[in-house]
Amino acid sequence: MEIFVQQLINGITLGSIYGLIAIGYTMVYGIIGMINFAHGDVFMVGAFLALIAFLALVAIGVTAVPLALFLVLLIAMALTSLYGWTVERLAYRPLRHSFRLAPLISAIGMSIVLQNYVQIAQGARVKPLPPLIQGGYTLIDNDVFIVRLSNVQILVVVTTLALMAVFSWVIARTRLGRDMRACEQDLKMASLVGVDVDRTISLTFVIGAALAAVAGIMTLLYYGVIDFYIGFVAGVKAFTAAVLGGIGSLPGAMLGGLLIGLIETFWSAYFSSEYKDVAAFSILIIVLIFLPTGILGRPEIEKV
Partner 1 sequence: MNGTVEPILTVEHLTMRFGGLVAVDDLSFSARPGDITALIGPNGAGKTTVFNCITGFYKPTVGMIRLAHPDGKTFLLERLLDFRISQRARGSRTFQNIRLFQGMTVLENLMVARHNPLMLASGFTLFGMLGLRTFTNAERAAIDMAKYWLDKIGITSRADDPAGDLPYGAQRRLEVARAMCTEPVLLCLDEPAAGLNARESAELNELLLFIRAEHATSILLIEHDMSVVMEISDHIVVLDYGVKIADGAPAAIRDDPRVIAAYLGVDDEEIADVEAEVGT
Q: Counting contacts by CB under 8 A, is residue 175 touching partner 1?
A: yes
Report in angstroms how near the CB of residue 192 gets to partner 1 at its nearest.
Answer: 6
Q: Which stretch binds partner 1 (CB under 8 A): 72-80, 178-186, 220-228, 260-268?
A: 178-186
Q: Which stretch binds partner 1 (CB under 8 A): 54-62, 63-71, 188-196, 231-239?
A: 188-196
Euclidean distance between CA atoms 233 and 277, whole angstroms: 9
Contact call for residues 187 and 93 (beta carbons, < 8 A): no
Rule CB under 8 A: choose which of 99, 142, 188, 290 binds partner 1. Answer: 188
Q: Residue 123 — left, alpha, or beta (φ > 0 → left; ψ -120 to 50 → alpha)? A: left
Q: Counting contacts by CB under 8 A, is residue 282 touching partner 1?
A: no
Contact call for residues 214 and 167 (beta carbons, < 8 A): no
Contact call for residues 20 and 256 (beta carbons, < 8 A): no
In Å, how far are 46, 47, 102, 115, 220 from 217, measured between CA atoms?
A: 7, 5, 31, 18, 5
- Bridge partners (DSSP) listed for residue 138: 148
Q: Which stretch binds partner 1 (CB under 8 A): 10-18, 103-111, 179-187, 220-228?
A: 179-187
Rule CB under 8 A: choose which of 35, 133, 176, 269 binds partner 1. Answer: 176
Q: Counting contacts by CB under 8 A, is residue 293 touching partner 1?
A: no
Binding mask 191-230 for partner 1 (x = CB under 8 A): xxxxxxx---------------------------------
Report in angstroms how near the CB of residue 38 gets to partner 1 at its nearest.
Answer: 25
Judged by DSSP in three states, 156 sits in helix
Rule CB under 8 A: choose which of 133, 178, 229, 236 binds partner 1. Answer: 178
Euclidean distance between CA atoms 178 and 156, whole angstroms: 29
In Å, how far are 147, 209, 241 from 294, measured between CA atoms?
A: 33, 23, 9
Rule CB under 8 A: choose which of 34, 49, 190, 214 binds partner 1. Answer: 190
Nearer Cβ to partner 1, position 100 or 188?
Answer: 188
Q: Give the dihedral of Cα atoms 58, 74, 40, 98; nearest 10 deg.
A: -140
Q: Counting contacts by CB under 8 A, is residue 185 touching partner 1?
A: yes
Nearer Cβ to partner 1, position 148 or 178?
Answer: 178
Q: Which residues bind partner 1 (CB under 8 A)?
A: 174-176, 178-179, 181-182, 185-186, 188-197, 303-304
